[in-house]
Amino acid sequence: MNRLKYSMLICIGMLPLSVQASDPALQCTLLKDNALRLACFDKVYAAQFPPQSLPQTPKPQPKSVDLVKSIESSIDNKETVVVFDGARKAGEPLSDLIESADAYTPLSQLYDLDENNQNGILSLREHNPMYILPVWYNSAPNVKPYSSTRGETDAEKFSDQKRIETKLQISFKTKIMEDLFRTRADIWFGYTQKSDWQVWNQGRKSTPFRNSDYMPELLVTQPVKADLPFGGKLRVLGAGIVHQSNGQSRPESRSWNRVYGMAGMEWGKLTVVPRVWMRAFDMSGEKDDNPDIMDYMGYGDLKLQYRFNDQQTLGTTLRYNPKTGKGAIETGYAFPVKGKLKAYVRSFHGYGESLIDYNHKQSGIGIGVMFNDWDGF
């Protein structure tokens, strides 16, 4: 009799394990990443529940471009051939569900790589980091900004500046057009503004904004899919044009235009976005505010970001010109404080922290708060 009781208890104890092994929804709970877990649930329950309305002819959904197969087919056929990524079939196993869920990463959500945002076009979206750093320490204030075509600037707001100031940045983008060329290609307009405020300079009658940079841009993104070494994935290719200026008159005026190409890649929780650029549509000679800006800003940058399970993110941006040996490194660390509010620690070393300081080397560090969930690219 006792042996029978023990057998029944063992069977009852193993019952939850067998249910968990057979129920895909329970297996979704094993995913620690919030985005992956939610996407897994979406896939599971979409397949289990019947539609709540009369069936309609499904509208063909734009697909990502399979970059590897497109190149191979173009070479074989000796003409341009675009091959789209194949759709998954119903009844896919859980391993495929998790692989599908892996597509809903911050990079995917930032550029609508797998599905369009429900708010549609012309809605404000996250772009670059948006933050305020009440305390920013500058190791080497640029008291006499200089440009070869504009000479030296000796304005009081520069000569009397303090090492400690407040730094803030606002940034947003909006989708202008979506799903172009029967693919998931989109056109975006973005805007970023960064300001340095001498709010701690109490010796002055007023506390001026030492510098403000304004940066509108136009960007085209094309979601793609291609495998990379060490388990990486190429997710997006893009091209854009960006104008950056400080809105000042001579001799403080600084401005330049760039066209750039970019790519977005992921290795699990690591996101890598390289960009290459060149100057375009700029004045030449004495009309150029900063003819040597490429010597300091280089020909591109490399952005890396690692996201942790507890909503912490660590990001780095690198710039380097091998011809001049000049560049910069920027690092940002964001961690949750309460709800969606995040604390943000940022550091910088090198050239080009702002346009007025494009040829001035300095180091800085500050702490404050971030106003967006994704610390952006």
Binding positions for Ca(2+) are 206, 253, 289
- Binding-site residue numbers are 206, 253, 289
Tally the C-alpha atoms within 13 A of residue 326's C-alpha that lie toward its C-beta.
Answer: 16
Angle at 308 between CA 306 and CA 314, to 5 degrees: 40
Q: Is the peptide bond before 251 cis (omega within 30 degrees of 0)?
A: yes
The active-site residue out of 74, 245, 347, 363 is: 245
- With CA atoms as reference, report the closest residue to 255 among 334, 355, 176: 355
- Asked if residue 67 lies in contact with residue 226, where contact means CB atoms within 8 angstroms, the answer is yes
Query: Does the active-site annotation cover 363?
Result: no
Q: How many helices (H) and strands (E) does the chain have?
A: 8, 16
Query: Does the active-site annotation cover 159?
Result: no
Whole-angstrom distance between the N-terminal and C-terminal Cα of the chain? Answer: 68
Type of residue at 235 = R
- With CA atoms as reference, report the closest residue to 358 among 145, 67, 75: 145
Contacts 24+ apart (CB under 8 A), 57-62: 62/179, 62/182, 62/183, 62/184
- Asked if residue 111 lies in contact with residue 123, where contact means CB atoms within 8 angstroms, the answer is no
- Asked if residue 273 lies in contact with residue 265, where contact means CB atoms within 8 angstroms, the answer is yes
How far from chain centre, in Å, is Cα 116? 17
Tally the C-alpha atoms within 13 A of residue 293's C-alpha that lie toward its C-beta.
Answer: 27
Q: How far apart are CA 242 and CA 275, in angstroms?
A: 12
- CB crowding 47-65: b at 16 or more within 10 Å, else e: eeeeeeeeeeeeeeebbbb
The active-site residue out of 73, 74, 100, 243 is: 243
- With CA atoms as reference, report the closest residue to 355 among 160, 195, 124: 195
The residues carrying an active-site annotation are 243, 245
